Amino acid sequence: MLSRRQTLTMLGLGTVSTGLMLGAGGLWLDYRRRWETPALAQTLFALLPDPDGAAALGALWLARHPELVASPRALPDHLAARLAGHGWVAAGDGLAAMVVAIVRDEFRRGQVEDVQGWRLSEFQAALCGLAYHMTSLPRMG
């Protein structure tokens, strides 16, 4: 289990926590079979210095956001839409800087979520959800 100090640096953007696995069910198992990893998801996942720690928190966050597990593309599309809303056009060198800017902006505007006592920007929480997908779902292809 990570210490709180370790989790503070996990995303390199703010705070994170540890958590529990998302519950299974018929819809979830079907979701796992149909998961596809878009290039953007892979690029965002690569930005995480501690994917396993982020994944633990992401499981808790996804349990509160069933709309993002209803379809294999829901979470990647959600992240892409959030990036596009901040002017992102295509993955590249500026993606990490844009993620940092989004997180800062969300904290300034109070767009935060509490997960096990840790306050995360909404985008950070979604990145943790992505980490859960990327570390726990079977590789396709």
| DSSP bridge pairs for 106 | none
What string of pLDDT tens digits covers the 141 residues of the chain? 444 443 444 444 333 332 223 333 333 334 443 444 578 888 899 998 889 989 999 999 999 999 998 887 899 899 999 998 888 877 566 889 999 999 999 999 999 999 888 899 999 999 999 999 888 866 544
Among 102, 98, 134, 97, residue whose Cα is nearest residue 121 = 102
- pTM (whole model) above 0.85: no
- Asked whether 12 and 49 are in contact (CB, 8 A), the reply is yes
Confidence (pLDDT) at 116: 82
User: Where in the chain are the domains?
Assistant: 4-136
Q: Where are the extended beta strands (E) located within 5-132?
A: 112-115, 118-121
pLDDT of 24 reads 33
Quote the pLDDT of residue 27.
Answer: 39
d(C-alpha 141, C-alpha 74), whole Å: 20
DSSP state of 36: -
